[in-house]
Every structure is written in structure tokens, then in C-alpha cells.
Amino acid sequence: MSIVMIERKVLQKNDEIARRNRALFFSHGTFAINLVSSPGSGKTSILERTLEHLKGELQVAVIEGDIQTDLDARRIASHGAPVVQIVTHGACHLEAQLVEDALSNLDLAEVRLLIIENVGNLVCPANYDLGEAVKVVVVSTTEGDDKPLKYPAMFRNSSVLLINKIDLLPYVDCDLERLRKNALSINPGLTIFETSCVSKQGVKEWCAWLRSKIFFVSRS
């Protein structure tokens, strides 16, 4: 058997479990997002701003994927949201099986929005469906404007792009218009928000988008 065939089998198995997760989310009216980015783009900070903004309005739960440590899960737990930590012990992406296991620790009937924070990596998480409704990719201005061209699969498979650390734009080598253009050249259907976890710019708009999706899911 060739290596290519083994890889295909692994992905087939993953897709099967992802379908199970998706059916479970659907049956509970839970809107699930898979938050992806390279390390340090600000996924956890965006999550914190999101939790603050939706507090008291929507039941949000979080699954935290990290290669090592529960530091991010501790940050999230301090906001009072249910959080399950997955430590991958070196693996550079989450798989549907890990999410399925984590779900046994959550009561989905009580969860309208589930945010899965993936391991910081713009490569293989693009290929692993977790059962989410949408992938949301975060790119910070400190990473420059060429990421969509370098990691096209992630941008092609995502529905939303958050351009984060927008407050740092005057200080970094990133052309915002070029970044937008590069992203849309890979995926013209991307919904784009510009966010800052410091000034909180864009958090309201991002949460309004989430709210509209959740409303749709819980009514269907």
C-alpha cells in the first residue's frame, strides 16, 4: 500500500466521524465553528472578546486544541464559559475523533454556539473536517499580506476571514487592500471582518454575523 493511499484512508475515516459530529450539532441546533490560524494570530484573544460580547445573551462553549499546556483553556474558563481542553501532545491539528471525545464533556442542548479553537497551523487543519458549520481563518496584520497566497487551501476552505491586530497596521509591513485582494482571489466568497482585540474594533460586527447564523441554525 502506498503512503498516498494510507493518507486517503485516514482522511476518509476522519470525514466519517466529522459527519457524525455535524449531525449531532444539527440535532441540537448548535452552530459550530472551527477557528484556525497560524500561532500567535490572536485566536484565543478573539475568543475572549467574543465571549465578553455575547455574555448573558447566548450560551457559548469552547473546545481548545493545543499541542501542549492548558493555558488557553484557563483564559477561556475565566470568562465563565464551559471549556474542554484537547492536548494533542505534538500533533499539529485537531481531528474529528478528538472533537467527538471532547463532546462527551459538554451538554450540547445547552450550547447555541460552539467554538473549536484549532492548533495554530495554517497547513493541515485545512484538510481535517471536524464537523463544523464553517471554518473561520484569522490572519493578523503582523503576518504580512501574502498568507492567502502561501496557504491557499485554508482560505479556500474557510467562510470567514478575520484580519486581526488591525490597530497595528500603521507599524507593520502589511498592505490591507493587498491582503483583502489576495484572500478574495483565492476565495471570492469570503466574508471579511477587520478586528482588534485591543480597541475592540470589529468585534460587534463579527458577533452580529455569528448571531445571524445562530438564529438561522436554531430555527431550522
135, interface contact from Zn ion, Mg ion, none, CB < 5-8 Å by kind: none
Residue with cell 474529528: 96
Q: Which residues, 71 to 100, sit near Mg ion by CB under 5 A? A: 72
What's the closest the beta carbon of residue 43 comes to Mg ion, in angstroms?
Answer: 5
Does residue 11 interact with Zn ion by CB under 5 A? no
- Tell me which stretch binds Zn ion (CB under 5 A): 5-13, 48-56, 93-101, 154-162: 93-101
Mark the segment that binds Zn ion (CB under 5 A) among 61-69, 117-125, 129-137, 199-207: 117-125
Q: Any idea how long the chain is? A: 220
Walk across the sheet containing 60-66 and list its strands: 83-87, 60-66, 113-117, 31-37, 134-140, 160-164, 191-194
Residue type, 42: G
Contact between 93 and Zn ion by CB under 5 A: the answer reads: yes
- Cα distances from 220 to residues 29, 184, 185, 207, in angstroms, run 8, 30, 32, 20
The conformational region for residue 184 under phi > 0 = left, psi -120 to 50 = alpha, else beta, is alpha
Residue 93 interacting partner from Mg ion, Zn ion, none (CB closer than 5 to 8 Å by kind): Zn ion
45 binds Mg ion (CB under 5 A): no
Where do contacts with Mg ion occur on this chain (CB under 5 A)?
A: 43-44, 72
Where do contacts with Zn ion occur on this chain (CB under 5 A)?
A: 92-93, 124
